[in-house]
Each structure stands twice: as structure tokens, then as C-alpha cells.
Amino acid sequence: MNKSLSDSSNQLLQEIDRKMSIIESMLILRYISGYVPIEEAYEVHQMLLEVFQLLLMLQHESKMASLAKGLSLQLQTIQEAYTRIIR
């Protein structure tokens, strides 16, 4: 794996991790309060879409495909929790 591919993968992973952490934090706070403002629900939805797109990019790097698949499953769990909270 060349250095630029490694740097690219690292940047994608950092961005995915950052966004997933934000989403999880928001969901925990909203789960506790029981209320999700419409603007925040939109923001979470937008971040979920962004992370899915980043994961698709990561899957194109053959050495990162299995990690991307695992992260996709984790994101799917987060999305299911999000859906339960906003209903």
C-alpha cells in the first residue's frame, strides 16, 4: 500500500470516527431527555448519510474493505437506535 493511499484511508477513518462519535453522543443525550428537536434530527440524518458515503469510499480501497464492512454494521446499529428515538 503506498503512502498516499494510507494517508487517504487514515483521513477517511478519522472523519468516520469523528462523525460517528458525534451521532452517538447526540443520540445518548436525546435518549435521556426523550425529546429530539427537528433541527437536530435533520443534523443526525445528514451525518448518517455523510458517514455512509465515507464508508463507500473506504470500501473501494481493497485493504480497507473488511474494516469498512464492520463499520457499516456499526453504523446500521446506530441508525436503528436513531430511528427508535425519533419515533
Number of domains in the chain: 1
Q: In this structure, are residues 19 and 74 in contact, taking their beta carbons and an 8 Å threshold?
A: no
Tell me the residue range of the domain where 55 lies.
Answer: 3-86
b (16+ CB within 10 A) / e for 59-71: bebeebeebbeeb
Average of per-residue pLDDT across 26-52: 88
Please state the pTM of the whole predicted model.
0.83
Instruction: Kindly report the average pLDDT of the chain as a whole number.
Output: 88
Confidence of residue 37 (pLDDT cuts 50, 70, 90): confident
pLDDT tens-digit map of 51-76? 999 999 999 988 899 999 999 999 99
Which amino acid is it at 26? M
